[in-house]
Amino acid sequence: MQYTIKELKAEAEMIAQFNLIKQLNVGLKLADYKRMLKDMLKHNYRMIGVYDKTKCIGISGFWIATKIYSDKYVELDNVVIDEKHRSKGIGKLLCDWILNEAKKQGCKTAMLDAYVENSSGHSFYFREGFIARGFHFIKKL
């Protein structure tokens, strides 16, 4: 099957993908997504989508920034493939596009977080050459 990858430039295009975001973030409310997305876009957040004709069936957000331990990096964020379209190479298309963009931008490292319970995601990222380098700690305030 032939898929198209496109960068979603407009906030409205990103909001339109809420149904995919909800597949990974089940309890998320649309109003909260809109609020968070508005703030994320102020910090250079970008998003791409994989389309089967006109329907978006996979998305990933990403940031490019710099940290001391990684140098310039790309961070993949909310990589989501519609549950009806998983295991068809769509996640690889997303990752490859973002990693190629990161190389063009001079990134030295790629990183991401995956929920502890997302074992199928872990397997995918290991196959793609990512390693589990540490723990990501959070504390609700």
Separation of alpha carbons 21 and 34, rounded Å = 12
Q: What is the pLDDT of residues 80-122, one digit of tens each?
A: 999 999 999 999 999 999 999 999 999 999 999 998 888 888 9
Question: What pLDDT, on the 0 to 100 scale, is given for residue 12?
Answer: 97
Architecture of domain 4-127: 3-Layer(aba) Sandwich (3.40)
Q: Give strand ranges (E) for the chain.
A: 4-8, 46-52, 55-67, 71-81, 109-112
**What are the structural domain ranges in the chain?**
4-127
pLDDT of res. 16: 97
N-term to C-term CA, the chain: 45
Burial class (CB in 10 A: 0-12, 13-18, 19+), 110: buried
Could you tell me the pTM of the whole model? 0.91
74 pLDDT tier (thresholds 50, 70, 90): very high
Q: 52 is written with which tokens?
A: 């089967």
